[in-house]
Structure 1
């Protein structure tokens, strides 16, 4: 005796709603002074993620994908005007990899003899986050 499975053919489904993106929880380990001290979520978790993205050099660690981290180490070798433009681009590109981030802007630069302090705003689903990053 053989059994034949018959699948429906030509069915039309109306009003089918497909969600392309599922909102993932952002709960993660909270790291303070190089130690795990519990968990954090929401805006605090995103702030921590931004810190790690900006302080992880892209392509240097096999554990991370090629889209994780930033490329800020070469900036000091560039002319000041070019460096400002590149810092804006590279910081924005690195942080916008996170889908909780909507935009990056309001860049301000302060120069000392051997470094530059970059202040900017990250516009996220949790609200605006003010960030500072010093590069030498």
Structure 2
């Protein structure tokens, strides 16, 4: 004998997943200049994720942002492997991102630059970070 009526299971079994649009405010040069959707919105999200230090700002969850501060001054080989891992880790928290790939590292003086592709459901974005 069931403890709950049959109608109690409707919310679990009859639920549908709804995809909401990714429309967001487009910010250029510190000013809001319209709305963006799709690949353009993803470019902006990726940029914000990679420029935000994790755990630095209370407005973001602990899953948002990347941890680069602890890598400054470390051995370049170690930094390269950790940048690749941490960038991939933070980007994969967004379900619209499918992969981070084709990492290319360049060292200029005391700066390490990393260029890579982010494959999303809307297309591929080429981006870079510098430490």
Partners of 1:9 and 1:97 in 2: how far apart? 36
> Structure 1 segments of 4 or more deviating over 6 A?
none
Partners of 1:118 and 1:31 in 2: how far apart? 24
Q: How many correspondences in the alignment?
A: 126
1:17, distance to aligned residue in structure 2 (A): 6.7
Instruction: Rate the CA distance shift 1:9–1:130 in 2: closer, same or farther, 3 A.
Output: closer
- Which runs of 5 or more residues in structure 1 are unaligned? 1-6
1:9, distance to aligned residue in structure 2 (A): 4.6
Aligned counterpart for 2:108 among listed residues 105, 108, 112? 112
The structure with the largest alpha-carbon Rg is 1
Determine which structure has the larger helix proportion and give its number.
2
1:76, distance to aligned residue in structure 2 (A): 2.1
Match of 1:58 in 2: 54
Match of 1:34 in 2: 30
Q: TM-score, length-normalised on structure 1?
A: 0.83
Match of 1:96 in 2: 92
- Which runs of 5 or more residues in structure 2 are unaligned? none
1:1-136 aligned at under 5 Å gives the runs: 9=6, 19=16, 21-135=17-131
Partners of 1:110 and 1:53 in 2: how far apart? 21
Partners of 2:25 and 2:71 in 1: how far apart? 31
Partners of 1:49 and 1:32 in 2: how far apart? 13
RMSD of aligned Cα (Å): 2.3
